[in-house]
Amino acid sequence: MPKPGVVLGLVILALVIGGGIWVRRDATGLGSASDAEMPDVTMADGVADLGALRVTLSTSPRPPYPFERIHLRVRADAGGRPVALEKPEISFEMRMPMGEHRCALVRGDDGWLEADVVLPLCSSGDPRWFAVVQAKAEGRPVIARFQLDLAKVGSER
Ligand SMILES: [Cu+2]
């Protein structure tokens, strides 16, 4: 049997770790979704699987750089057929509040919806942003979440 003090220590450690994760998730405002569940669009197209509907996000350049224009393309499909998104918009957030970064997606080429965004570099050094595509499809809300990491300023292109 371990000493009671050791058991108490482990319980407290578990509470601290659990509490830390809870606070971190809560701070993102992203519900219970963890990073691992969100498609990463830093270096490749990402596809969010929303059951019957799939939402694809494509960014360029790759990787994206802070303070430089990032071109975004979004499309939705179901069973391989394109689905029209109504009132589509995309917003960006970090774990910490970094201001409003929201723009409407407008019709582009080949059924893609497009927008341009410029994202600041967080002074904390955290490069990770979360992109949230919101729209309606056949009257029902669509919310697709992605993650991307901004490249370090001055890094190799
Ligand atoms: Cu910040």
Query: What is the 63 CA–ligand 1 centroid distance (Å)?
Result: 19
What tens digit of pLDDT does each residue of 75-95 get? Answer: 999 999 999 999 999 999 999
Average pLDDT value for residue range 33-46 = 89
pLDDT band at 48 (very low <50, low <70, confident <90, very high): very high
What tens digit of pLDDT does each residue of 95-148 get? Answer: 999 988 999 999 998 889 999 999 999 999 999 999 999 999 999 999 999 999
pLDDT band at 1 (very low <50, low <70, confident <90, very high): low
Residues in the chain: 157
> Which tokens is 108 given?
């582009």
> Which tokens is 50 given?
């929303």
Query: What is the 150 CA–ligand 1 centroid distance (Å)?
Result: 13
Cα separations in angstroms, 130 against 1, 12, 101, 137, 157: 46, 31, 11, 22, 23
C-alpha to C-alpha distance for 30 and 145, rounded to whole angstroms? 9
Contact (CB, 8 A) for 153 and 65: yes
Give the chain's mean pLDDT.
85
Give the SS3 label for residue 15.
Answer: helix
Contact (CB, 8 A) for 91 and 137: no
Query: What is the 91 CA–ligand 1 centroid distance (Å)?
Result: 16
Query: What is the 127 CA–ligand 1 centroid distance (Å)?
Result: 9
pTM over 0.95: no
Query: What is the 121 CA–ligand 1 centroid distance (Å)?
Result: 7
Selection from 11-20, 28-37, 107-116 with the highest mean pLDDT: 107-116
Query: What is the 65 CA–ligand 1 centroid distance (Å)?
Result: 15
Query: What is the 81 CA–ligand 1 centroid distance (Å)?
Result: 39
Query: What is the 144 CA–ligand 1 centroid distance (Å)?
Result: 22
Contact (CB, 8 A) for 105 and 115: yes
